Structure 1
Amino acid sequence: MKKIKVLIFIYQMGGGGAARTLLNIINNLDRSKFSPVLVTLNYNGSYEKELQDDVVFIKLPTKRLSRSIWSLAKIIRSEEIDIVFSTIPRVNTIAIFAKVLSFSKARSVIREADNLGGGLITNLQLLGFGMVYKFSNQIVSLSEGVKENLVRRYKVKPSDIKVVYNPVDLYRIKEKIKTEKDIKDKYKTLFETEDKIIVSAGRLVEQKDHKTLLKAFSKVNAQVKSRLILLGEGPLKNQLVEEAEKLNVADRVHFIGFQNNPYVFFKKADVFVLSSKHEGFSHVIAEALATGVPVVSTDCKSGPAEVLNKGEYGELCEVGNVEDMTEKILHILTLDKEQVTEIVSNGYERANYFDAKVIVKRYEEIFLQALNQ
């Protein structure tokens, strides 16, 4: 039987959640039915080395998304692609245009990954994306909240959207946890302490609202001696360092940048905290649960409440509310061992719900349905 060729298009295989999700989908596709082709712009991404050896990987000769349409269209035609799959609005738009201009029989499946919205200009842009999305064969939303946003802001019909949660590669996480050597010597000393360890991971950008986390941490530390480890890079690092200094906790806050293996850090922590203003799904929360660490997250639109099932599998706090976040973190840090063990056990159970082996089968069904339209 001829394998179905799926072209996956993304800006770059960098360290963000979208790239990690696509990595999990690519590596877990059933190779007896599907043949993956990954196409990115001309950037080097940290997840490239984790791709399966049989993935056809093509980098376009440009770093400009707007200049990639014709090159992508040629690949769709020359590689005889059956499904063009993409994520993130601007990338989705280019993928749809390229599919149309390829004059091929390829089908387009796009994935919406965040709960976007804002001022007049931003909302008009989303309406524009929604108009282009109508030329795709299937729209996938990674949460019910993102689906509601697609209907409200993009004016997409609910019947045109399928909700599929992010796949979490539980096997890969377990294997990576075993490799503690990935914690470099300079970081190992962070865990050689009686202090409680709080970990957070995400780009140092406004969306992740690390300022609220730092303020909450300063209050937590005043009651329970703690260390805050921040994984991730971004333009706000200097501002956040200054904020930590103002709060007199600079010696207890550790910015360690992007880590190829964040799971060993999660595993050693007493609590994982997400302070975001908005998310699509919050892949990192599901991954944290899979490592066996209790979770505190903002109840932002639209992923955390779905991942944690309205607080059943982790603590939810109000977005931007320092006092609420402080209270929820302290609650976790002051639990006894039996209570922590129960939370960890429940977290493992919830993580299994997002197992890549299960979720990717849903994507496979969607690809097959798109082909039969």
Structure 2
Amino acid sequence: MSAGKRTDVVVYVRALYNGGTDQVMLNLVEEFLAGGRSVALAVDFDNVYSPYRSRFPEQVRYVVLGAHSPWARLTKLYHFLKQEQPKSLLCAGFFPNIFAIIARRLSGVDMRVVVTEHNTPTINRQLASPWQARRWFLLFARLFYPQADAVVAVSNGTAGDLADAIGIERVRVRCIYNPIVNGGLFEQSQQTVDDPWFTDSNVPVILGLGRLEPEKNFALLLRAFALVREEMACRLVIFGDGSEREMLEELVATLELSDCVQLRHFVPNPHAYTAKAALLAASSICEGLSNVLVEAIALGTPVVSTDCPFGPTEVLNAGEYGRLVPVGDARRLADAMLASLRQRPEPVPKSWLEQFTTKRSAERYLELLIPG
């Protein structure tokens, strides 16, 4: 930091991975820069394998704190803030949120802290194993979240759930939809896909995107797809990585779907596949918002989703812009997929997509980070 010049916004996350939260934070960084703000991106450690690692702009100061243990994360963030003296700090993730609030208090730096919650607190806590840290979410969130200058959730449903979970008034939790729609999304969607499954227009491809974890419930999608295949020739491709890969591969074999289902690994540009798919299907148990649904409707790809807490119904306007089905119901999911494949719905109006643009989202965040 040059003498007398304070960084406008420091974005602090655990590290860059390949998830939706990383995409959100980098989209915000790009918009902050476009608006003339100075930005630093601080991470606890450098994940060189992240596809986003090489994406952030050169104008962004990339700060690796070199911290792995909880104590090191807190103390190194404290020293960084004490030296940096930023005007504001934007965090994503439970522990970054907590550490940021504590470090701000210890450092005495006059800056605003905005914490963001991208998950459904009560449901994620229920899904956690007894030894996972998020089991302790409510205790620490109740103690520290109210000390932030602003608490942001990525959907209205998540905001209400968070407020109830930590015992604060709903008006104290702001809802700002994720920054998803921009020129980069459409540019990436137009890239060529050298893949016979996606270039064979005679056989429609259903697409699934996300981490292979219990909350995404891809096992339900496989069972629903098996029912669809009984009535229509089609294929299913799921892009993602996670702890359930082996289980899902076994389920594909058990359902005898090996000739028409592929479980592929994460790809840096899924948008090119989304734009060329006949349908995107989401089978989650819970979603803070669901970036993949926003991306799909922006690209004109029909969607079907479980009506899980809390994001899909908000993204799809209670079913107006995509079919919603009960959570866990393979038959209803299959019927919705068949209906969407047989009759393609109308495109989503641009006016509806405006609330998910990176420009609008960044404007709303800056109102909290640097008011006035």
**Shared fold (TM-score greater than 0.5)?**
yes
Is this contact kept in 2: 1:297–1:316, CA < 8 A? yes
1:239 corresponds to 2:243: no
Q: Does structure 1 conserve the Cα–Cα contact (< 8 Å) formed by 2:152 and 2:174?
A: yes
Instruction: Using the TM superposition, give the Cα deviation of residue 351 of structure 1 relative to its aligned residue in structure 2, in angstroms.
Output: 2.6
The Cα shift of 1:188 comes to: 3.9
* Contact 1:123-1:153 within 8 A present in 2 as well: no
**Aligned partner (choices 342, 346, 366) of residue 334 of structure 1:** 342
In structure 1, what is the equivalent of residue 353 of structure 2? 351
Q: Cα RMSD between the aligned structures?
A: 2.0
Q: Could you tell me whether the CA contact under 8 Å between 1:305 and 1:316 is conserved in 2? A: yes
**Is 1:210 aligned to residue 213 of structure 2?**
no
Q: Which residue of 1 aligns with 2:86?
A: 81
Matched-pair contact (CA < 8 Å) for 1:24–1:169: no
Post-superposition Cα deviations, 1:286-320, rounded to whole Å, max 9, x if no partner, equal: 01111210010110001000010100111101111
The change in CA–CA distance for 1:254 and 1:96 in structure 2 (over 3 A counts) is same
Is 1:201–2:206 an aligned residue pair?
A: no
2:41 corresponds in structure 1 to 38
Indicate how the Cα distance of structure 1 residues 330 and 86 shifts in structure 2: closer, same or farther if over 3 A, else same: same
Q: 2:278 aligns with which of 266, 270, 273?
A: 270
The alignment status of 1:29 with 2:32, answered yes or no, reads yes
- Counterpart in 2 of 1:148? 160
The separation in 2 between residues aligned to 1:305 and 1:213, in whole angstroms, is 18
- Kept in 2: contact 1:3–1:33 (CA 8 A): no
Do 2:300 and 2:348's aligned partners in 1 also have CA atoms closer than 8 Å?
no
SS of 2:42 mapped into structure 1: strand
Q: Mark the runs of 5 or more structure 1 residues left unpaired by the alignment.
A: none
Tell me the residue number matched to 1:53: 58
Deviation at 1:87, TM superposition (A): 1.4
One-letter amino acid of the structure 1 residue matched with residue 57 of structure 2: Q
- The whole-number CA distance in structure 2 between the counterparts of 1:331 and 1:178 is 26
- Among 12, 15, 26, the alignment partner of 1:12 is 15
SS at match of 1:61: coil
- Among candidates 244, 247, 256, match of residue 248 of structure 1: 256
Aligned-pair identity in percent equals: 26
Q: Which runs of 4+ in 1 moved over 6 A?
A: 120-123
Deviation, 1:130, is: 2.2
> Larger deviation: 326-335 or 80-89?
80-89
Partner of 2:186: 174
Aligned equivalents of 2:365 and 2:272: distance in 1?
Answer: 29
Contact 1:313 1:347 survives alignment (8 Å): no
2:91/2:116 contact within 8 Å kept: yes
Q: CA–CA distance in 2 between the matches of 1:191 and 1:289?
A: 21
Look up the equivalent residue of 1:197 and give its one-letter code. V
Post-superposition Cα deviations, 1:173-197, rounded to whole Å, max 9, x if no partner, equal 11112221xx3x4x34453352111
Q: 1:142 to 1:88 in 2, by over 3 A?
A: same
Task: Determine the C-alpha separation between the residues in 2 that align with 1:112 and 1:32.
Answer: 24
Partners of 2:304 and 2:227 in 1: CA distance: 15
**1:318 is aligned with what amino acid?**
P
1:139 aligns with 2:151: yes
The answer to whether structure 1 residue 294 and structure 2 residue 302 are counterparts is yes
The aligned residue for residue 281 of structure 1 is: 289
Alpha-carbon distance in structure 2 between the residues aligned to 1:305 and 1:196: 25
Taking structure 1 as the reference length, the TM-score comes to 0.91
Structure 2: how far apart are the matches of 1:200 and 1:65?
A: 35
| Letter paired with 1:112 | E
What's the secondary structure of 2:259's corresponding residue?
A: helix
1:204–1:236 Cα contact (<8 Å) kept: yes
* Alpha carbons of structure 1 residues 4 and 191: separation in structure 2 relative to 1, 3 Å: same
- Aligned counterpart in structure 2 of residue 115 of structure 1, from 100, 113, 120: 120
3-state DSSP of counterpart to 1:223: coil
| Equivalent residues of 1:84, 1:99 under 8 A apart | no
Q: Distance in 2 between matches of 1:348 and 1:264?
A: 20
The alignment covers a number of residue pairs equal to 360
Per the TM alignment, residue 65 of structure 1 is displaced from its structure 2 partner at its CA by 4.5
Give distance in 2, aligned partners of 1:32 and 1:293: 31
Distance 1:136 1:361 in 2: 19
Q: Are 1:161 and 2:167 an aligned pair? A: no
Give the CA deviation at 1:61: 1.2
TM-score (norm 2): 0.91
Instruction: Report how far residue 159 of structure 1 moved.
Output: 2.8
Residue range with higher mean Cα deviation, 126-135 or 325-334 = 126-135
Separation of aligned partners in 2, 1:124 and 1:14: 23
Partners of 2:43 and 2:20 in 1: CA distance: 16
The SS at the match of 1:250 is coil
Contact 1:41 1:65 in 2 (8 A): no
